Amino acid sequence: MAFPSHIFKAYDIRGIYGTEVTEALAYNIGRAFAEFMKKDQGKDTLTLVVCEDMRVSSPPLKKEVIRGLTEQGIDVVDIGLASTPTFYFGVAKYGYDGGIQITASHNPGQYNGFKMVRPAAGPISGETGIMEIRDMVEKGEFPSVEKTGTVTMRTGVIEDEVVYALSQVDISRIKPFTVVVDNANGMGSLVMEKLFAQLPCTLEKMYFELDGNFPNHDANPLIDENNTDIQKRVVETGADLGIALDGDSDRVFFIDNMGETVEPAIVRGMLAQVYLKDHPGGAVGYDVRPGKITEDMILEAGGKPFLTKVGHSLIKEESKKHNAIFSGESSGHFFIKADFGFFEMPALIVLQFLRVISESGKSVREYIEPLMKYAHSGEINFEVEDKTAVFERLKISYGEHLTQ
């Protein structure tokens, strides 16, 4: 079938609903993903998880993905509305063969797309399957199967996710903070409401209503102007801190008690030190974007830092090679190693952050201020016609400073 090939990206499939991402495409992606996974896993009998985010276009797309999967003989477990971390947890914790989520992450409401994983929520990236799936969709030739797959609904995944996070942290050590949480009308509210119900903290809710049109602000806390509302609320209410999540809740940012966003490199370093206490000498990954404080904190705790490319799928793949105990990306993705997978667990990240600040006896600003010793410009993006030529010029000018 015909489709714009640019929607098949490095980490997922994403485009404008109705013109680039259609029900017909969803159906064929379901069929292609089914055949890809059979080959990838070396077996014809598979059970895959399917779920959706809160976008208006997600239900019809999910329906067609499921139709495509089952027509190729795949058994589907539908876990309904779910954040990306809930999706990962559902695949990995219950031991399913993989899955596909209908989501466009933090993109505006007119977008939608598909995120796919292997067993243990292992990523499928442009380098490890997405482009192969694209080619299969384009060709449009799928084998017939003798038996159509089944569809089963599974509930309680969010509850299990919260229970797991709570089991990993001694919440009796968390102080009764006042915490403002901005869910940006995204999927995080389903988890955060249940999580904070178990904590001694006072929860100040912002934009918890699910709304795929994102009426209050874009669901991307990496762009600090999207954090203006929560920063203001933290200061006005005298809250101890704020938490901002993106549209599909796989990224988390923290706001200090002075109403300023905590640099993700500092959060990454804090969390690295948490996990290095339990895993001395462990490997910790971080992406190449600015964040020298992360390396300092990893080395200070006796860990082994390693650099990765940008992108959650690529970081996970590189972390697997290093047997990492924890990794973090400057965009707010934080990856935790569990006995069933290595992926984003924002509920657990929130608990660990609250515990660290509680045990320090300091405010968030007092804790992070000594760590704010490096200049940080924030992410700056450039559009160029020939990136290869630009990199070659940079190598010529600055090659002696390259670290890898």
Side by side, the strands of the sheet bearing 75-81 are 13-16, 111-117, 99-102, 47-52, 75-81, 151-153
Say if strands 99-102 and 47-52 run parallel, antiparallel, or are unpaired: parallel
The three-class DSSP label of residue 119 is helix
DSSP string, 275-288: HHHHSTT-EEEEES
Name the amino acid, one letter, at 354: L
In eight-state DSSP terms, residue 271 is H
| Nearest one of 35, 102, 90 to 65, comparing CA atoms | 102
Question: Is there a catalytic annotation at residue 327?
Answer: no
CA atoms within 13 A on the CB side of 403: 6
Say if strands 202-206 and 178-182 run parallel, antiparallel, or are unpaired: parallel
Question: Exposure pattern of 144-165 as b/e (b: 16+ CB <10 Å)?
Answer: ebeeebeeeeeeebbeebbebb
Rounded CA-CA distance 112/105 in Å is 8
- Identify the burial level of 311 via C-beta atoms within 10 angstroms of its C-beta, where 0-12 means exposed, 13-18 middle and 19 or more buried: buried
Q: Which of 57, 83, 105, 331 is catalytic?
A: 105
Which tokens sit at 105? 């992450």
Which tokens sit at 158? 């969010």
Beta bridge partners of 77: 49, 152
Contact 282, 272 (CB under 8 A): no
Rounded CA-CA distance 142/21 in Å is 20
CA atoms within 13 A on the CB side of 30: 30
Q: Is the dihedral of CA 113, 119, 125, 129 positive or negative?
A: negative
Beta bridge partners of 75: 47
Contact 143, 68 (CB under 8 A): no
Name the amino acid, one letter, at 26: A
Give the residue numbers annotated as catalytic, written as ranges. Answer: 105
